[in-house]
Amino acid sequence: EVKLVESGGGLVQPAETLTFSCETSGFAFSSQGISWVRQAPGAGLEWVSRTTNRVINIYYAESVKGRFTISRDNAKSTLYLRLDDLKPEDTGIYYCSNCYSLNACSAKKPGYYWGQGTQVIVSS
């Protein structure tokens, strides 16, 4: 059974920090790139960050660059995201997925695995 389980969301104030985990099983996590994708209330999917199977290949959306940090532990088949300096516009549900491109992730194209999401609310 394929599983991707996100955790770490919550309610925080602006400028605070959250850390997410995505624990996976049932597919070849260690050989695939994997992404974080978010969806703000009433909005479409927005690709946030991606890391390839090589730890030196990391990409961020401009909206989060300099504030979010993606990492992975292939031995644990787990993806992480540290969210620093959170802003109200970061509010939404965050998903991890093995979608491999901006288009595939943002359009939620078939053929990829997705978790159930973890929610973050940034509000004062």
7-58 pLDDT, tens digit per residue, is: 999 999 999 999 999 999 999 999 999 999 999 999 999 999 999 887 668 9
The pLDDT score that the predictor gives to residue 55 is: 65
The more confidently predicted of residues 48 and 100 is 48
Sequence-separated contacts (24+) of 47-52 with Cβ below 8 Å: 47/102, 47/105, 47/106, 48/81, 48/94, 49/81, 50/100, 50/105, 51/79
The pLDDT score that the predictor gives to residue 90 is: 98
